[in-house]
Structure 1
Amino acid sequence: MENNRGKCILIYEDNQEILILCKTILTRKHYRVETRLRCENVINDIDSVQPDLVLMDLWIPEIGGEKAVSLIKGNPATRDIPVLLFSANADIKEICKRTNANGYLEKPFDLKTFIATIEEYIK
């Protein structure tokens, strides 16, 4: 279970408390965690961070998570990186399909579900 060293997760979340919570949980699981409060430079961010997984909040400035995921999945250089949507939006399952995201995490989430979902999708 501790073979997560070197695996990087890029989190897009504009809520500072949620961001800190997620980073703390994942760091304790030995992931390298990068965070962003905005997503308008999503392709450049991914290019510089080289994440193994992207966790994308739907309601994030400037362009929003839905548009950001569409950009990731529409770009040949980034489309194979697993992306999980992360939201309290009641339509998250439909948005996941529409954007071609790999999966989703509903907020609020419990710790077990959060970790299990991350581990399911990270390469």
Structure 2
Amino acid sequence: MNAILKQIVIFDDDPDILSICSYILEEMGFIVHCFIDCIDIEVKVAAILPDVILMDNWIPDEGGIKATQRLKKNESLKKIPVIYFSANSDIQQLSKQAGADNYLAKPFNLEDLQAIIEHTLNIGY
């Protein structure tokens, strides 16, 4: 995948997840931006306009469902694909409720992370 100059935003309050995902995604050629909360999420995302967003379910302040719904209701941000990721056993249902474009269950292996991002980007939103 030629991901050069593609940007990804990760919303997760777990520093280990952010560190591992950042390293992997940077190795894939992404410019990675990490946030430990979703306060002012529209401002954060609008400032970057990433190619894809990874959204944790348990992200402070309001949680991934509400944060994703806010992004999808925003006319200028709604087309940015959101990959919902969580260790919750109901990840598929939570992703649907949030209005996310795709989902990835935690824990995941690196190949799964790469495949879901490539698949999401190739859909062509």
Give TM-score, length-normalised by structure 2.
0.94
- Distance in 2, Cα, partners of 1:15 & 1:39: 13
Deviation at 1:83, TM superposition (A): 0.2
- Distance in 1, Cα, partners of 2:71 & 2:14: 22
Q: Which runs of 5+ in 1 are unaligned?
A: none
Deviation per residue, 1:54-99 (Å, 9 max, x gap): 0000101111111100001111111110001010011111111112
Aligned to 1:112: 111
Aligned to 1:90: 89
Deviation at 1:20, TM superposition (A): 0.3
Aligned to 2:61: 62
Deviation per residue, 1:25-76 (Å, 9 max, x gap): 0000111100000002110011101100000001011111111000011111
Matches within 5 A, 1:18-97: 18-97=17-96
Which secondary structure does the structure 2 equivalent of 1:104 belong to?
A: strand
Name the count of aligned residue pairs: 122
Aligned to 2:9: 10
Moved over 4 A (4+): none
Which secondary structure does the structure 1 equivalent of 2:8 belong to?
A: strand
Aligned to 1:101: 100
- Distance in 2, Cα, partners of 1:66 & 1:54: 13
Identical columns (%): 39
Residue 91 of structure 1 aligns with an amino acid whose one-letter code is D
Question: Pairwise CA RMSD of aligned residues?
Answer: 0.9
Which secondary structure does the structure 1 equivalent of 2:29 belong to?
A: coil
Which secondary structure does the structure 2 equivalent of 1:70 belong to?
A: helix
Are the equivalent residues in 1 in contact too, given 2:64–2:98 (CA < 8 A)?
no
Deviation at 1:102, TM superposition (A): 0.2
